[in-house]
Amino acid sequence: MRFLVTGGAGYIGSHACLRLLDDGHVVTVVDNLVRGHRGAVDALRAAGGARLAFLEADLADTATLERALRDDRIDTVLHFAGLTNVGESMEQPLEYHRTNCAGGISLLQAMKTTGVRRIIFSSTAATYGEPPQSAMPLTESTPQCPINPYGRSKLQFEEVLRGECAALKESSPLAAIALRYFNVAGADAKERVGEDHRPETHLIPICLQVALGARPHLTIYGNDYETPDGTCVRDYVHVEDLVDAHLAALTALTPAQFRCWNVGIGRGYSVRAVLESCRRVTGHAIPAIDGPRRAGDPAALYADPTAIMRDMHWRAQWTDLDRIVSSAWKWMRAHPRGYA
């Protein structure tokens, strides 16, 4: 098949591209490199050779997207590109709506013009906001009440997709799926690509950066939550399992239907549990200090993956925290400065 992958120079998108290239598909990456890495594109080129095309372009550039969709005879779009930092979204809400919602609309417009009608969109558990703890684990029908511009911009684009799939009198209707990811972690088993967010806000790489000596300590935001050890609990899904979910979703794309699934392992690990795991895996003491709670951090957030297991026969293979952390650590140790 022939894929257009937006955000393919970023963390999750580069893993998806590698998998598609390893499986013999043809991939065009569109990324403006605002957060992605040329080093990731180089790794993709090494894996895919002539089956990989890279376009340094912004989602807002509808004409370039149209050209790529038409000239590269694309069947399906995997839409990973976006801004992803919750804190930053509170400071720059307009930028988040412009990229995550208006950027998606530009992409959809290009798809409409060129007759490409299949899209899988990276959505997020942040669209659920701060659900009551009685709502755990989260199903797809948990009310979506995002509490920050990041979550709102993602939910808005879900709504755009839903509306476009339901468009009346459409001779070639859109098929769209939103996968709502929980916390993604780990790296390619062959260490070709990995996680390098700048700034890094994710717990596992931050702990590992302390182990590498790149940070002095981990700050634990809140130790008095109503969880077994007082720290926040999150669902960590391995990036390879997440990519598998996308491949499974390809077979579930249905014209004129917008469908969504949560992607998580279905259990949560606390901040302290992650820290202990990182200490075990790295053999480093990883100093940690207690800090205040952060606004908008729910005590626990984890998925109910029943629907994706039932509908797509997807099942997380990586459920052991130490294995997930080891995978991230292997890449980090091999690339202590990331793609720099």
Ligand X SMILES: NC(=O)c1ccc[n+]([C@@H]2O[C@H](COP(=O)([O-])OP(=O)(O)OC[C@H]3O[C@@H](n4cnc5c(N)ncnc54)[C@H](O)[C@@H]3O)[C@@H](O)[C@H]2O)c1
Q: What are phi and psi of 272, to 5 degrees?
A: -65, -40
For residues 79 and 30, give the distance between their C-alpha atoms in angstroms, rounded to a whole number: 10
Q: Which of 11, 128, 258, 269 binds ligand X (CB under 6 A)?
A: 11
Kindly state whether residue 81 participates in binding ligand X, applying the rule CB under 6 A: yes
Kindly state whether residue 33 participates in binding ligand X, applying the rule CB under 6 A: yes
Kindly state whether residue 32 participates in binding ligand X, applying the rule CB under 6 A: yes
Indicate the residue whose CB is closest to ligand X: 10
- Per DSSP, 129 falls in state B
Q: Which of 3, 4, 5, 9 binds ligand X (CB under 6 A)?
A: 9
Stretch of residues binding ligand X (CB under 6 A), selected from 10-18, 20-28, 168-176, 203-211: 10-18
Kindly state whether residue 298 participates in binding ligand X, applying the rule CB under 6 A: no
With the C-alpha atoms ordered 272, 275, 280, 281, is the resulting torsion angle positive or negative?
Answer: positive
DSSP 16-37: HHHHHHHTT-EEEEEE--SS--
- Among the listed residues 150, 225, 302, 339, the single catalytic one is 150
Q: Which of 184, 218, 286, 308 binds ligand X (CB under 6 A)?
A: 184
For residues 129 and 125, give the distance between their C-alpha atoms in angstroms, rounded to a whole number: 8
What 3-state DSSP class applies to 131?
Answer: coil
Kindly state whether residue 203 participates in binding ligand X, applying the rule CB under 6 A: no
- For ligand X, how many residues bind (rule: CB under 6 A)? 27
Mention every residue, 6+ apart, whose C-beta is less than 8 A from residue 111.
65, 69, 77, 117, 119, 174
Among residues 52, 65, 46, 56, the alpha carbon closest in space to that of 17 is found at: 52
CB of residue 195 to ligand X, shortest distance in Å: 7
Kindly state whether residue 160 participates in binding ligand X, applying the rule CB under 6 A: no
Kindly state whether residue 106 participates in binding ligand X, applying the rule CB under 6 A: no
Indicate if 150 belongs to the active site.
yes
Tokens standing for residue 56: 């340094």
- Residues with active-site annotation: 150
Q: Which residues bind ligand X (CB under 6 A)?
A: 7, 9-13, 31-36, 58-59, 80-84, 99, 103, 122, 124, 181, 183-184, 197
